[in-house]
Amino acid sequence: MTTQELIEQLDSVSKKTNEEWLASLDERKQKEIEFHNIDKDKTLAEGEYEKLHENAKFYQTAHLINEYVDAWIAQYSKGKIFLDYACGDGENAVKAAKAGAELAIGLDISDVSIKNARALAEKEGVLRNTYFLQGDCENTGLPNESVDVVICSGMLHHLDLSYAFPELRRILKKGGVLLAVEALDCNPAIKAYRMLTPHLRTDWEKRHILSYKEIGFAKRFFEVKNIRHWHLFSIAAAYVPSALPFLNALDKVFLKIPLIKMMSWMFTFELHKK
């Protein structure tokens, strides 16, 4: 399949996004659209926006994982068909396009996210090799074996993996690779914080944070490689930003230790299709 033929297929999928399609989605997916449309609404009043993003201070400490993801995108994107799976505002698709992806696709169930992603692509001058569409990540409508590289950044826990993993295997080309970036559901203090801040996530999301159980399930469909653990001590830099370099150095040492690494905030892993 040529890139132009793929774009024509994407056009066909995009045209199906209408009121009938929205009405056909189950309650869980309807709630995901509602939640993320509010979450990604950049026109919210300042107080409302900050309430929805009160955990942003922690994500501002995640330099190490962000650097790793950016380097991974740069390494795997050039000349490839790249999919930003559940793309949010499309930052990773735009990075892939700038890194030389032949086509960087962003797919998300939120129409507000897709509007934001298209605006970002236009701002960054990569409209030519990006394509954003609203759709269902568990039933993408993409052709079989049409994608070389996939990134799923912080979104697998929003999905039913019994549908998502087979769908990802179907659309990924042989030899293709996926990078997953996820929170890890092991640290009791982090789990307690999630329970104390229910307004920051959907009911499905907070009950489906990933663990090694999901890694085992992924092995039914893919070869799992390069599991890495990120951020434990560095979380404290949300309150003491000047300490971040020192705390990052601690993480680099201690998150290699088997038991301690299971207390990490996040982990990444690659899924390879043989």
According to the model, what pLDDT value does residue 81 have? 97
According to the model, what pLDDT value does residue 48 have? 64
Measuring CA to CA, which residue among 112, 208, 117 is closest to residue 158?
Answer: 208
Do residues 186 and 265 lie in contact, with contact meaning Cβ atoms separated by under 8 Å? no
Determine the Cα–Cα distance for residues 11 and 93; give it in Å rounded to an integer: 18
Q: What is the dihedral of CA 190, 194, 195, 196, to 10 degrees?
A: 100
According to the model, what pLDDT value does residue 5 have? 87
Residue ranges of the domains in the chain? 3-272
> Which residues of the chain register pLDDT less than 50?
none
According to the model, what pLDDT value does residue 274 have? 86
Handedness of CA 13, 19, 23, 28 (dihedral sign): positive
The CATH code belonging to domain 3-272 is 3.40.50.150
Residues in CB range of 159: below 8 A, 6 or more apart: 86, 137, 138
Pairing of strands 147-153, 172-183: parallel
pLDDT tens digits along 47-67: 665 566 677 888 999 999 999
According to the model, what pLDDT value does residue 44 have? 65
According to the model, what pLDDT value does residue 38 have? 84
According to the model, what pLDDT value does residue 13 have? 83
Provide, for the chain, the percentages of residues in helix, strand and coil under a 3-state DSSP scheme, each rounded to the nearest 5. 55, 20, 30
According to the model, what pLDDT value does residue 151 have? 98
